[in-house]
Amino acid sequence: TEFMVIDNMPVEINGERNILDVIRKAGIDLPTFCYYSELSVYGACRMCVVEDQWGSIQAACSTPPKAGMEIRTNTPRLRKYRKMILELLLSNHCRDCTTCEKNGKCKLQELAQRFGIKQVRFHNTSEDSELDTSSLCIVRDKSKCILCGDCVRMCNEVQNVGAIDFAFRGSKMCVSTAFDEPLANTKCVGCGQCSVVCPTGAIVVRNDTAKLWKELSDNNTKVIVQIAPAVRVGIGKELGFSEGQNVMGRIVAALRRIGFDEVFDTSTGADFTVLEEAEEFSKRLLTGDKLPLFTSCCPAWVRYAELNYPQLLKNISTCRSPMQMLASILKEHHRDDEKRVVVVAVMPCTAKKQEAARDEFKEDGVPYVDYVITTQELIHLIKEANLIFSEIEPEAVDMPFGTTSGSGIIFGVTGGVTEAVIRRLSDDKSAFGLRAIAFTGVRGMQGVKEARIDCNGREVKIAIVSGLKNADDLIRSIQAGEKQYDFVEVMSCPGGCIGGAGQPVTNRDGKYNRGAGLYNADRMSNIKRSEENPIIKELYDGMLKDKVHKLLHVNYLK
């Protein structure tokens, strides 16, 4: 084995691309603003500088490891250098930390504290710049940008959108949209992944909780809430549980304490999606028309297709997303209520805010989903209500829409929608058959997966992608005739909704644990298949009898 020496300790080199990764393996959390293992190396922030045995200074993120190399990470010179960088950054950075959306989660704040910055020797040159609040999903504040470029690389490299980039040079350099247009006028799809990697408050998720408190305190309004699959495994870590632990019961109880009148599970909506999408897919398989069928539950993906591949819109399922299906059912059910009824959705997703505002999802100008708040905003609500989450006793969701299946729950992880649809379509209804589906290639955190299944004696080819760059590459290979599929699941966020930008930020292991949390919930469900959820039959025989099209489908082609 090869090794290098870090602070007088031998450390093994095992395929790491740079010495930063080797150093971290040695239990040293070298600071950096601009290094993410899933993005290209930019090497601009210089916080990860180290000294070699000859005293020369280099950035650890852009230096490959070599056997015999000797590195020091914490010399007086390096400490001074890092403090200087921090002071320079702070000298033209807004310092209103207490009122910043990122307060407590800001990397700049954390490192200023870690390195004991008590005063900034340089004159404050920060200028007030206008917030860009044009997007329904995220808010940009240029005055808080430290030019690490993480958002730019995320938007370009992982999401293939390129809505933001560096503009100008020298002291005027900033991150901007083309021609400095408001973000809403660009190709931004609202995925929010830029906010996940932004180390400061320069890009944050839009916070809609203030409006919600008003609704909650209005006695003439009934406030109904639905909780997305991924939220139950994404929220716990910040509230005293382990990453990926399913705390659905506590979320339900907390929402009731906060003042919501009825609480439901978006997984119930997902069961309707499975039935409708499976039927749509069977029909298309018979006619061979409009294949591959692309899934439609991810709103950032739908937006991406509208902007970049309008000719593919006919291939996208006409199914409303589970959030919209459940909301449409809830609004229909409460049609004659005396009180005004408001539907709120708690989502792991920023793009759902945009989906809720689409004209397709309004009736007489009133949206089916009135408010979307993210998992992070729900944490704010819980804290603002002074609740001690870990001490709340778990409760069940309300009836009559309170039954879910395991299939609906796994929607929140990449491959989950596909697995749920396969369960519906598969002829083998045995417990063994159900378990075997998990081994067809649908599970796992990879950005691109393939599966083949037998359906009515025909081999069906499936692709599952997460991350829009992966989706784009796949579409190109289909168009070039190199690949052929019948069914394609697309989720914009790497890992699926569990990695949504509305969730507390986590790493690869965290996403794995969240996925495992959803698969556990499925294993513990006594109803595994969507069609076995009793509410399905009840509603198809009742409310949905002649309203399937009106309440469960959408036409993006208009």
Active site residues: 277, 280, 297, 317, 352, 355, 360, 497
64-to-67, 186, 284 alpha-carbon distances in Å: 10, 37, 51
For ligand HC1, the closer of residues 107 and 250 by Cβ is: 250
Q: Is the dihedral of CA 107, 64, 448, 271 positive or negative?
A: negative
Q: Does 323 contact ligand HC1 by CB under 6 A?
A: yes
Between residues 267 and 328, which has the closer beta carbon with respect to ligand HC1? Answer: 267
CB 322, CB 106: distance < 8 Å: no
Residue 349 contact, options ligand SF4, ligand HC1, none, Cβ 5-8 Å cut-off depending on partner type: ligand HC1
Residues 6+ apart with CB under 8 A from 114: 31
Residue closest to 369 by CA, chosen among 351, 388, 352: 352
Contact positions with ligand HC1 (CB under 6 A) in 184-243 = 228-230
192 binds, among ligand HC1, ligand SF4, none (CB under 5 to 8 A by kind): ligand SF4
% helix, strand, coil for the chain, step of 5: 45, 15, 40
We find the least distance from the C-beta atom of residue 518 to ligand HC1, in angstroms, to be: 9
Query: Is 266 an interacting residue with respect to ligand HC1 (CB under 6 A)?
Result: yes
- Least separation in angstroms between residue 149's CB and ligand HC1 is 27
Q: How far is the CB of 237 from ligand HC1 (least distance, A)?
A: 16
User: Smallest Cα–Cα separation from 150: which of 69, 44, 70?
Assistant: 44
The one among 347, 373, 445, 451 contacting ligand HC1 by CB under 6 A: 347
- Contact in structure between 225 and 263 (CB atoms under 8 Å): yes
Cis peptide before 534 (omega within 30 of 0): no
Q: Which is nearer to ligand HC1, 190 or 322 (CB)?
A: 322
352 binds, among ligand SF4, ligand HC1, none (CB under 5 to 8 A by kind): ligand HC1
For residue 412, the partner it binds in ligand SF4, ligand HC1, none, with Cβ less than 5 to 8 A by kind, is: ligand HC1
61/270 with CB nearer ligand HC1: 270
Count the site residues for ligand HC1 by CB under 6 A. Answer: 20
Q: Going by C-beta distance under 8 Å and a sequence separation of 6 or more, which residues neighbour residue 361? A: 320, 324, 327, 355, 367, 368, 369, 554
DSSP helix/strand/coil, 305: helix
CA 102/CA 349 separation, integer angstroms: 18
228 binds, among ligand SF4, ligand HC1, none (CB under 5 to 8 A by kind): ligand HC1
| Residue number, 139 or 344, with CB nearest to ligand SF4 | 139
Q: How far is the CB of 370 from ligand HC1 (least distance, A)?
A: 15
* 348 binding partner (options ligand HC1, ligand SF4, none; Cβ < 5 to 8 Å by kind): ligand HC1
Q: What's the min distance (Å) between Cβ of 465 and ligand SF4?
A: 16
Residues 302-321 that bind ligand HC1 (CB under 6 A): 321
Number of H helices, E strands in the chain: 20, 19
Residue 193: name its binding partner from ligand SF4, ligand HC1, none (Cβ under 5 to 8 Å by kind): ligand SF4
Concatenating the DSSP letter of every residue in 315-365 gives GB--BPPHHHHHHHHHHHHTTT-SSEEEEEEEES-SHHHHHHTSGGGEETT
Cβ atoms of 252 and 232 within 8 Å: the answer is no
Residue 250 contact among ligand SF4, ligand HC1, none, beta carbon within 5 to 8 Å by kind: none
How is residue 222 written in tokens?
Answer: 């009934």
Q: What is the largest CA-CA distance in the chain?
A: 79
Q: Residue type at 383?
A: K
Q: Which of 349, 382, 392, 437 binds ligand HC1 (CB under 6 A)?
A: 349
Count other C-beta atoms under 10 Å from residue 88's C-beta.
14
Q: Supply the minimum distance, in Å, between the C-beta of residue 500 and ligand SF4.
A: 12
Binding of residue 411 to ligand HC1 (CB under 6 A):
yes
Tokens of 79: 């400490």
Distance between CA 124 and CA 88 in Å, rounded? 9
The contact set with ligand SF4 (CB under 6 A) reads 138, 154-155, 159, 161, 163-164, 188-194
Query: CB within 8 A of 185, min separation 6: which ones?
Result: 134, 177
Q: Provide, rounded to whole angstroms, the least separation between the CB of residue 194 and ligand SF4.
A: 3
Q: Contact region for ligand HC1 (CB under 6 A) — 75-83, 159-167, 177-185, 344-352?
A: 344-352
Roughly what angle, to the nearest 10 degrees, separates helices 266-287 and 322-333?
120
Residue 227 beta carbon to ligand HC1: minimum distance, rounded to whole angstroms: 8
Q: Which of 412, 441, 447, 494 is close enough to bind ligand HC1 by CB under 6 A?
A: 412
Paired residues of 4 in beta bridges: 11
- Residue 474 interacts with which of ligand SF4, ligand HC1, none, CB < 5 to 8 Å by class: none
551 in Cβ contact with 318 (< 8 Å): no
Say if residues 518 and 274 touch (Cβ distance below 8 Å): no
- Footprint of ligand HC1 on 430-449 (CB under 6 A): none
For 227-272, the DSSP string reads E-TTHHHHSGGGGTS-TT---HHHHHHHHHHHT-SEEEEHHHHHHH
To ligand SF4, the closest distance from the beta carbon of 552 in angstroms equals 28
Is position 348 an interface residue for ligand HC1 (rule: CB under 6 A)?
yes
Determine the residue with CB nearest ligand HC1. 497
Q: Which residues bind ligand HC1 (CB under 6 A)?
A: 228-230, 266-267, 270, 297-298, 321-323, 347-349, 352, 411-412, 496-497, 500
